[in-house]
Amino acid sequence: MNGRVRRRASRGLRAAQGHRGFSLAELLVAIAVLSLIMAALFGALDVSQKAYGRATSAEEAQVAARATLDRLATDLRMVGSFYFGAGNAGFPITAFGSTSISFWGDVNGDGSTTTTAAATATGITLASATGFTQNELVYVGSGAFREVATIASDPSSSTTLTLSAPPAAGTWTALANSYPANSMVRSVEQVTWSYDAAARTLTRTEADSGAVTVMDNVVAFSLAGYDVNGTATTTLSAIDSIGVALTVEDPRGARRTLGVRVQLRSMRVG
């Protein structure tokens, strides 16, 4: 009996010796291989994260540039709105260059109606003066008659506007026509867009809001005027459409260039 027990114990010992663990050298080799695999995986992940970050940053810059371009295009479509063709109004574009433009137009849609306004009057009374600002222009029109004048008084204190000569009016002294009650009245704003290459900023200026930086990190900006035949021109009275090119740079250095050509539709009459 004891012999059997000894034989079984001997066999168990030999079996245990046949299933020995890893040696130190084998463990070191396994750790080294695992380290190489993990380094490769982390390297690939790092490259992927950086690529994703660059793509996201570039996309955000492009979205911001598109929003800025859309806002500028919206303003340009309103050049001369409720101004061009009115009596004693000058040409709506007052300054134009490769990096800036100034113009008159009803860009914010503020409007009202009048009580009566007589010819030779130097003031009009509105149903509401909300949206009207001192030193802006006021457009008043009824039927075939329409004209503009400068708002000389502060509309916040009264609905009666005191008027003065608009730009390029010459010897203007008062309204030239009579306007019945409920004649249309609109505010006309002067808007300037300008690019500062040193600061890399694009700025929009309006009388009632002052200068506002619309976008920064602008590395290039240009405007080009075209006549009705599509020929480039810098003559103000000949400009029928304006091309805009905008290049922005994201924080990682990637650049995006966008462009648009805008028809000055408010200046097409008839």
- pLDDT tens, 115-130? 888 889 999 999 988 8
3-state SS, residue 19: coil
Q: Do the domain assignments include residue 20?
A: no
Q: Which residues have C-beta within 8 Å of that of residue 140, sequence separation ≥ 6?
A: 114, 117, 124, 146, 147, 148, 149, 175, 179, 183, 184, 185
Cα dist from 167 to 5, 79, 184, whole Å: 120, 16, 21
Q: Is the pLDDT of residue 61 over 60?
A: yes
Is residue 151 in some structural domain?
Answer: yes
In angstroms, the CA 202 to CA 192 distance is 11
Q: What pLDDT, on the 0 to 100 scale, is given for residue 150?
A: 92
The CA-atom distances, in angstroms, between 87 and each of 93, 157, 257, 258 are 16, 28, 41, 38
Question: CA-CA-CA-CA torsion for 173, 152, 103, 179, nearest 10 degrees?
Answer: -60
- Cα 156 to Cα 129: distance, rounded to the nearest angstrom: 7
Q: Is residue 33 part of a domain?
A: no
The parent domain of residue 220 ranges over 64-267
Query: Range with the lowest mean pLDDT among 39-43, 142-146, 159-163?
Result: 39-43
- Does the pLDDT at position 20 exceed 90? no
Looking at residue 49, what is its pLDDT?
A: 65
Q: Residue 208: pLDDT above 80? A: no
Q: What is the mean pLDDT of the chain?
A: 85
Each residue's pLDDT tens digit, 166-184: 887 667 889 999 999 999 9
Provide the domain count of the chain.
1
58 lies in a domain?
no
Is the pLDDT at 134 greater than 60? The verdict is yes
Kindly report, residue by residue over 217-267, the tens digit of the pLDDT.
Answer: 999 999 999 999 999 999 999 999 999 999 998 877 888 899 999 999 887
Residue 18 lies in a domain: no
Average pLDDT value for residue range 12-35: 68
Does some domain include residue 217?
Answer: yes
Q: Quick one: tokens of 167?
A: 């730009």
**Is 1 inside any structural domain?**
no
Residue 151: how many other CB atoms lie within 10 Å? 23
CA distances from 58 to 7, 69, 147, 164, 254 (A): 77, 16, 47, 49, 6
The answer to whether residues 257 and 247 touch, using CB atoms and an 8 Å cutoff, is yes
pLDDT score of 252: 78
39 found inside a domain: no
